[in-house]
Structures are given as structure tokens and as C-alpha cells.
Amino acid sequence: MDQRFLSLADVTEILQITMSQARALVRSGELRGIQIGGKGVWRVENAELEAYIERMYRQTAQRLRSGETTLD
């Protein structure tokens, strides 16, 4: 059975980003997460991470088409 929720550490590993980058994504609302329990542990639903990745693919494709970004 697949995990429904991921920790921010899982998100950093999957996206190959730093913990501060993952926190910033959640804090800004760009990547939706929920805070659970008294200690305020953050979790990101697997479906939300997949939706975020799909949005990033679309945004990147748009920037490439408009010439805003190049492949280095």
C-alpha cells in the first residue's frame, strides 16, 4: 500500500531540494501541506505533491515556449 502522506524529509528526497526549500514551498502555499499534532509536524499528501509536479511541468513548458527560460 502506498503512503498517503509524506513528511517534508520525504518531499526533499523526492524533489532533491533542501529542507528550507520544502518549508518555503509549503509556507507559500505553492505546495499544499497540513500540520498535524501538537508539535506541528507537517505532512504533504502524495496527490498534492504529484499535482505540484504536474503544475511545474506545465509552467516550465510555458516558459520554454515563450522564451523566458532556456536549457543550459
Residue pLDDT tens, the chain, 72 long: 578 999 999 999 999 999 999 999 999 999 999 999 888 899 999 999 999 999 999 999 998 889 877 666
User: Which pLDDT score, from 0 to 100, does residue 12 have?
Assistant: 98
Supply the pTM of this predicted model: 0.84
User: Which pLDDT score, from 0 to 100, does residue 10 have?
Assistant: 97
User: Which pLDDT score, from 0 to 100, does residue 43 have?
Assistant: 97
Residues facing residue 35 across a β-bridge? 42
Beta strands in the chain (DSSP E): 5-7, 34-36, 41-45
Site of grid cell 501538537: 38
Residue 2 is classified by DSSP as: -
Quote the cell numbers at residue 29. 502555499
